[in-house]
């Protein structure tokens, strides 16, 4: 699609399965609360992703403001629900991508950009015209429409979607999307079927890695997801099981005020063994709730895992 056709998609927005159908070019806002102008919180060389994404130089992560889910347990709640970030033009976005490449980024990692797909597509095209050559990664909640995935397929090399839950009650309660399980399964399956897994110099340059956060007290949801993955995506996508749930990020009742305990982690390992899921990643480092980013800081990530290239305050 050309730039004008892409940007016209904001006029009756159906970029995510909520299908708000508002005219975001006129200032009307849907669930994501974002207009048709991109907003970004920061761009960093991030060293905390899976090894074939991080590489030696770090993943060039761009964190977009807003979210189509606004989960009540999001570690990035300052930008997904809190609105931190500033407006950038398509031209400035393309320059940010090129700055990340010049700083040594292994890839461009687009974090939670579903509500800005038309602008991102136009910006990546412009950056490519001006010398962007590193792989483009799509890091999302998995809450995209099939039509949105068609657009993404024109410029995305690697997909990094979440599948948060296949439990309708959980998705309705904690991110007001009872139909999330069906939407996520459809979108992520299409992603996995669209990109063959390819590695070059121990770095992923094509394919899909499906992420899943294990939540304390809800390990049965993880078992259900793993069984679905084994039946539908094993061999087509890699898996990344994450243990970094943080009670400090949770908002409202219904979430445990603790991190995962060893017995819950052992249960997840037993499910992986039972199902024969071997290709992928699992978080093995010490589990802590102290790793939440603070996007008000120019260096949002603790522990030196990110080097900031662009920040909304400067």
pLDDT one-digit tens code per residue, 268-294: 999 999 999 999 999 865 555 556 789
Token duo for residue 119: 């602008």
Inter-axis angle of helices 168-175 and 180-194, nearest 10: 100
Distances (CA, A) of 307 to 154, 249, 303, 311: 29, 23, 11, 11
pLDDT of residue 20: 96
Distance of CA 256 to the CA centre of its chain: 23
pLDDT of residue 287: 59
pLDDT tens-place string over residues 53-110: 999 999 999 999 999 998 878 888 899 989 999 999 999 999 999 999 999 999 999 9
Mean pLDDT within 159-171: 97
The pair phi, psi for residue 47, each rounded to 5°, is -110, 15
Mean pLDDT within 138-158: 97
pLDDT of residue 286: 58
Instruction: Domain ranges for the chain, please list them.
Output: 3-311
Is residue 144 within 8 A of residue 124, CB to CB? The reply is: no
Q: How many residues does the chain have?
A: 314
pLDDT tens-place string over residues 222-267: 999 999 999 999 999 999 999 988 877 776 667 778 889 999 999 9
The CATH number of the domain covering residues in 3-311: 3.20.20.70
Instruction: Give me the percent of the chain exceeding a pLDDT of 70.
Output: 96
- Per the model's pLDDT, the better-predicted residue between 301 and 38 turns out to be 38
Phi-psi region for residue 83, left (φ > 0), alpha (ψ -120 to 50) or beta?
left
pLDDT of residue 253: 65
Banded model confidence at residue 205, pLDDT cuts 50, 70, 90: very high
CA dist., res. 84 & res. 182, Å (int): 30
- Look up tokens 């749930």; give the residue: 245
Banded model confidence at residue 25, pLDDT cuts 50, 70, 90: very high
- Would the pTM count as exceeding 0.85? yes
């Amino acid at each position: 699609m050309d730039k004008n056709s892409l940007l016209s998609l904001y006029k009756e927005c159906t970029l995510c399965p909520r299908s708000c159908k508002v005219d975001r070019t006129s200032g009307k806002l849907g669930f994501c609360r974002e207009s048709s102008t991109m907003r970004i919180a920061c761009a960093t060389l991030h060293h905390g992703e899976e090894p074939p994404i991080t590489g030696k130089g770090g993943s060039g992560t761009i964190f977009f403001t807003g979210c189509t889910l606004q989960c009540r347990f999001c570690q990035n709640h300052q930008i997904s629900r809190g609105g931190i970030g500033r407006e950038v033009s398509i031209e400035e976005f393309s320059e940010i991508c090129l700055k990340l490449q010049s700083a040594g980024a292994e890839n461009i990692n687009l974090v939670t950009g579903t509500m800005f797909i038309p602008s991102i597509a136009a910006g990546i095209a412009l950056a490519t015209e001006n010398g962007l050559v590193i792989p483009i990664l799509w890091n999302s909640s998995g809450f995209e429409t099939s039509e949105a995935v068609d657009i993404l397929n024109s410029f995305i090399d690697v997909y990094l979607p979440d599948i948060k839950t296949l439990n309708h009650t959980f998705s309705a309660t904690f991110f007001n999307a009872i139909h999330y399980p069906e939407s996520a399964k459809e979108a992520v399956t299409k992603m996995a079927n669209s990109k063959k897994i390819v590695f070059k110099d121990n770095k992923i340059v094509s394919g899909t890695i499906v992420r899943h956060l294990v939540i304390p007290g809800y390990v049965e949801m993880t078992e259900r997801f793993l069984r679905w993955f084994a039946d539908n995506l094993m061999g087509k996508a890699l898996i990344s099981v994450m243990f970094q749930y943080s009670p400090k990020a949770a908002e409202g009742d219904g979430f445990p005020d603790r991190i995962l305990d060893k017995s819950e982690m052992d249960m997840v390992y037993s499910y992986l063994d039972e199902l024969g899921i071997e290709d992928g990643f699992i978080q093995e480092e010490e589990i802590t709730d102290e790793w939440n980013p603070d996007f008000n800081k120019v260096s949002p990530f603790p522990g030196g895992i990110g080097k900031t290239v662009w920040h909304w305050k400067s």
